[in-house]
Amino acid sequence: MHCLLIHQMFLPSTQGGGTRHFEFARFCTEQGDQFTVIASDVSYLDGKRINRPREERIDGVNIYRVSTLAVLHRNFIWRVLAFLGFMHKSFWAGWRRTKQVDIIMGTSPSLFQAFSASMLALFRRKPFLLEIRDLWPDFAIDMGILKSRILIFFARRLEYHLYRRARHIIVNSPAYVDYLVNKGIRPEKVTLISNGVDPSMFDPEGDGTSFAKRYDLLGKFIVTYAGAIGPANDIQTIVRAAETLQDDPDIHFVLAGDGKARQEIEQLVQESKIGNVTLTGVIPKSEMADLLAASNACVATLMNIPMFKTTYPNKVFDYMAAGRPTILGIDGVIREVIEQCDGGIYVQPGDSKQFADAVRRLKADPDLCQRMGQRAREHVVRHFNRNDHARQFHRLLQNLLNN
């Protein structure tokens, strides 16, 4: 079996960001199958060109990068142009490489790259597998990014086209199943393969000494955010909580990641003279274990909009696998995960005071930190193990090919 994935934001484990697709692809190659990815040569994290070969093979996975506009972190129009450019180039790159392919997979967002995969599948007469990672255009509408009625109309049309064209649909959050069924999609056409983590990547007993030494944070109570720094992530709330906590010199915040809002956050830290925040830039997934081992608690935030209640953020599962408690400023299905295992503290999204209070509480009670982290680790190993998800993904590909 040979599967082709079109994914503009695809990243191997040597880079920062989500590596779900790479781990799935690697598992398939370990089973003796072939997996090819067509990706962009521009990183979605920092908007810069990726310093990698145009064509490479990593752990058996074939990766082809097409040249696209390095404008992802400009305004909305430029971002759309970058998506359209990748849609066009990925189609022709895929056309040259799909003669021996059995399944063609697209993933959204963006809708444009999923459309490219759907057209390839149509012309090559291959099964089209669609993955929904975020609910677009709903997220863009709720965030106020997409306001034009005409653009919303065409985005909806494209969304429904993809749902109809797909032989099968994968979603990574249980709330997305309900969303699709309410849109008229047959339940048997949808499979939940949730976000998760490979627990073996993290050592809950680690102390992260090398990371703490590198940033002169030995002996500090380290609170970490690891992920994209974009408009949706509400990093301002974390920074304001840090500002409130400057009266305690032992507390320090680490913001590990990059994104469109990073410059704004750096400016906020500098102008407000907040001395207990360090921005590290992107930390490769292979080094994430040391970062989280150095952390005493971790935070996850999103803007307080209704659609974000449906998400399963990858970073939370990393925190759990590392055995660290999560201070969670996201309501909805991910809150249910944390509260089910008592693996952290929920705070109202956007409420920096509640964030600061949660940090003080955890710092004052090391035993509570340890218990929450241990319960989180046990829960994620049992219910959100990426190895189990990879096997589920591989079975789905086999069933799709045979039916």
Q: Tell me the C-alpha distance between 350 and 328, whole Å.
A: 11
Band of residue 71 on the pLDDT scale cut at 50, 70, 90:
confident
pLDDT tens, position by position, 337-383? 999 999 999 999 999 999 999 999 999 999 999 999 999 999 999 99
* C-alpha–C-alpha distance, residues 26 and 331, integer Å: 33
Q: What average pLDDT does range 43-51 have in this prediction?
A: 78
Task: Please say whether the beta carbons of 6 and 117 come within 8 A.
Answer: yes
State the residue for tokens 């521009």: 42
Query: Whole-number mean pLDDT of the chain?
Result: 93
- Going by pLDDT thresholds of 50, 70 and 90, the confidence category of residue 77 is confident
Please check whether residue 265 is in contact with residue 235, taking contact to mean a CB–CB distance below 8 angstroms: yes
The more confidently predicted of residues 15 and 193 is 193
Q: What is the pLDDT of residue 50?
A: 82
pLDDT at 175 over 90: yes
pLDDT band for position 326 (cuts 50, 70, 90): very high
**Is the pLDDT at 94 greater than 80, yes or no?**
yes
Give the Cα separation of 334 and 175 in Å (integer). 10
- What is the rounded CA–CA span in Å between residue 216 and residue 223? 14
Burial 291-301 (b: 16+ CB within 10 A, else e): bbbbbbbbbbb
pLDDT at 15: 62
User: pLDDT class for 146, splitting at 50, 70, 90?
Assistant: confident
Res 47: pLDDT: 74
Report the DSSP pairing between strands 61-66 and 55-58.
antiparallel
Report the pLDDT value the prediction gives residue 398, as an integer from 0 to 100. Answer: 96
How far does Cα 128 stand from its chain's mean position?
23
Which pTM was predicted? 0.92
The answer to whether residue 252 scores a pLDDT higher than 80 is yes
Q: Is the pLDDT of residue 55 over 80?
A: yes
- Residue-level pLDDT at 17: 65
Q: Does the structure show a pLDDT above 90 at 222?
A: yes
Per-residue pLDDT at 282: 86
DSSP letter, residue 125: T
Check residue 98 and give its pLDDT.
80
Domains of the chain: 2-196+385-402 (3.40.50.2000), 199-383 (3.40.50.2000)
pLDDT digits (tens, 9 = 90+) for 98-129: 888 999 999 999 999 999 999 999 999 999 99
Q: Strand order in 2-6's β-sheet?
A: 55-58, 61-66, 34-40, 2-6, 103-108, 128-132, 168-171, 190-192
Whether residue 325 has pLDDT greater than 90: yes
Count the helices and strands in the chain (H runs, E runs): 15, 14
User: 299 near 238, Cβ under 8 Å?
Assistant: yes
Q: Are 26 and 59 in contact (CB under 8 A)?
A: yes
Looking at 178-318, which runs of residues are DSSP E strands? 190-192, 221-226, 251-256, 277-281, 297-301
- Peptide linkage before 127 cis (omega within 30 of 0): no
Look at residue 305 in the predicted model and tell me its pLDDT: 92
Residue 14 reports pLDDT greater than 70: no
